[in-house]
Every structure is written in C-alpha cells, then in structure tokens.
C-alpha cells in the first residue's frame, strides 16, 4: 500500500452542520476518486470559521496527497474559504486578472461590484480550475483544490480536473448479496478476510420484504484475488444454506 494515493475532503459550511442542507458532494467526489484509484481517507465538515478551516487545511494537506474543499467561494460575507486558504499557506490574497476575465463571461462590466470581485480575489499562486457552469473559478494551490459548494458547479469543476490527478492502482470491487443475517455469516466471513489480508471485505446488512440480508463488498486491486474471494463468499453462503446473488466478476 506504499504507492497508495490518498485524498481528503473538507466540506465548508454551516448549512451542512445545521442540517439545513443534505450534502451530496461527498459521494460525488468519493466516486470520482475511486475511478482514478485515489483513496479518500477522511472527510471533515467544518463551520464557516477561520480557525476551523485553517487548522483542517494545514493538518490535512501535510498528511495526504490531495485535499479538496467545497463551499465558501461565493461573493457574500460568509464566503471565507479563500481568505482561510491564503492564511493556511501564508500567502497574500490578490485580485487575479484571469479570474476577473472568467467573471466577465457571466457578469456585465458595470455589474462587477466589489462583492463579485471577491470571487476573483485569490491566494497568490492559485492555478484556476474552470467553472463551465457559472464561470467564477475554483483553484488549486499546492495540493489543495478549492471547489464551489453548489453541487452542479462543484461537479463540473471536479469533472474537469479529475483526469489531471495522479491516479493510483484502481480499486476494484465485487458485491455478493447474501439472504442471511450478518450474525449468521460473520465467523466464516472473518475467516475469509484473515486468509486474504490484501482485500478489504465489508459487510452491510439490509432488510427487504422483512428478510434479513447482507451485502458483502470485496475491494482490492487484484482482479483474480477478488474473483476468488467472491467465489469463496458464495461457497460459504452455500455451506450455510442461504441464498446468494453474485454480480459475476470484479468491476
């Protein structure tokens, strides 16, 4: 796992912490990172609070390959992400002419007030991340990628930058659905996990029409090992006398 490429996500926003907004950015970024073979190791949701943001950014950028942030880059007083990123890196904020140009694709020059120009006031050294939806850009500084919070805009930004990320070994996964409870299969499943330390075997219970079931998710980088483990799980279910649905082969 020494060549593992890791990432963390910092979701910035009181609206998520108050329950007002259901975050969906985590799942979108998580899924995209899986495609690129990058392991999302941690997510933090922090308030619109300078100390909280600066502390999280500085801790996490030192310990992971990539940091992504969402939220707090709009024109209003509660959008403090750029000021926090500048502080975290110890660099000044400055008006970025390239970012002003981006804004002018959306905003008439006579409407480009000070508040809107905050969206072009970025930490020194920031490399712009394209926003094809509403043009106010995101940016990268060091290993930190600063994205919008609005899902449609965040997704467009992330889709654009994703291909440029250094990927790791693609993590494949294989699901096996067992129509038996976790408690029934747990001991035999643990034995499979012990024999295959290079795979991650997760177990997720469900009930469907009053029947207890368990989805076994097997993840790893070696397709052959994954498919073997999948067959072992299916055989285990057979021995325990419960119905099983595999998904064929690792994806």
96 binds a copy of itself per the rule CB under 8 A? no
Report yes or no: 66 and 9 within 8 Å, Cβ to Cβ. Answer: no
Whole-number minimum distance, CB 203 to a copy of itself, in Å?
Answer: 4
Size of the site for a copy of itself (CB under 8 A): 67
Nearest Cα residue to 160 out of 192, 185, 137, 177: 137
The one among 4, 5, 28, 161 contacting a copy of itself by CB under 8 A = 28
46 binds a copy of itself per the rule CB under 8 A? yes
Nearest Cα residue to 65 out of 27, 92, 90, 33: 33
Subset of 136-155 contacting a copy of itself (CB under 8 A): 150
Residue 95, number of CB atoms within 10 A of its CB: 11
Task: Give CA–CA dist 13/212, Å, rounded.
Answer: 37
Q: Which C-beta is closer to a copy of itself: that of 42 or that of 124?
A: 42
Task: Give CA–CA dist 152/224, Å, rounded.
Answer: 37
Task: Give CA–CA dist 249/173, Å, rounded.
Answer: 9
* Among the residue ranges 90-98, 177-185, 232-240, 242-250, the one whose residues contact a copy of itself (CB under 8 A): 177-185
Q: Which residues bind a copy of itself (CB under 8 A)?
A: 11, 14-24, 26-34, 39-48, 52, 74-79, 107, 111, 113-116, 118-119, 150, 171, 173, 182-187, 189-190, 193-194, 200-205, 217, 219
């Amino acid at each position: 796992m020494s060549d593992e490429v890791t990432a963390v996500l910092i979701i910035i926003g009181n609206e998520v912490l108050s329950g007002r907004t259901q975050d969906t950015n985590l799942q979108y970024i998580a899924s995209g990172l899986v495609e690129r073979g990058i392991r999302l190791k941690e997510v933090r949701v922090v308030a619109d609070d300078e100390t909280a943001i600066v502390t999280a950014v500085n801790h996490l950028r030192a310990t992971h390959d990539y940091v992504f942030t969402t939220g707090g880059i709009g024109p209003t007083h509660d959008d403090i992400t750029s000021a926090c990123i500048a502080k975290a890196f110890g660099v000044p904020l400055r008006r970025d002419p390239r970012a002003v140009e981006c804004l002018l694709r959306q905003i008439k020059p006579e409407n480009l007030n000070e508040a809107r120009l905050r969206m072009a006031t970025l930490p020194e050294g920031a490399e712009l991340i394209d926003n094809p939806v509403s043009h106010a850009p995101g940016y990268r500084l060091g290993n930190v990628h600063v994205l919008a919070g609005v899902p449609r805009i965040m997704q467009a930004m992330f889709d654009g930058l994703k291909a440029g990320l250094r990927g790791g070994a693609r993590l494949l996964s294989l699901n096996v659905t067992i129509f038996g409870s976790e408690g029934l299969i747990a001991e035999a499943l643990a034995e499979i996990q012990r024999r295959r330390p290079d795979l991650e075997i997760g177990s997720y219970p469900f009930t469907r029409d009053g029947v207890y079931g368990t989805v076994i998710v097997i993840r790893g980088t070696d397709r052959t090992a994954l498919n073997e483990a999948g067959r072992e799980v299916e055989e285990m279910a057979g021995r325990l006398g419960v119905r099983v649905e595999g998904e064929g082969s690792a994806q």
